[in-house]
Amino acid sequence: MTSDAETPTCSARGCRREAAWMLLWRNPRLHGPERVKRWAACEEHLATLREFLTSRGFPCETEAVPPSGAMG
């Protein structure tokens, strides 16, 4: 198998599941608009991670991760 786009793993602590979502966020106090951090999230932890960010007032966007094996 050759795959140069590995499916990211969920960023939640202790979670090893494949990510279905990508959270794009930044800390406006530290980062300029061009500096975007990316967190991977599985279905289960998407809400948790997004709440963590939005509760701190960080701008946050959600992007779907294409399922693995969907190439070509």
Footprint of Zn ion on 33-52 (CB under 5 A): 42, 45
Q: Does 10 bind Zn ion (CB under 5 A)?
A: yes
Q: Which is nearer to Zn ion, 26 or 40 (CB)?
A: 40
Q: Write out the DSSP string of 9-65.
A: BP-STT--PBPSEEEEE--TTT--TT--EEEEE-TTTHHHHHHHHHHTT--EEEEEP
Using CB under 5 A as the binding criterion, the count of chain residues that bind Zn ion stands at: 6
Q: Does 12 bind Zn ion (CB under 5 A)?
A: yes
Smallest distance, Å, CB 12 to Zn ion?
A: 4
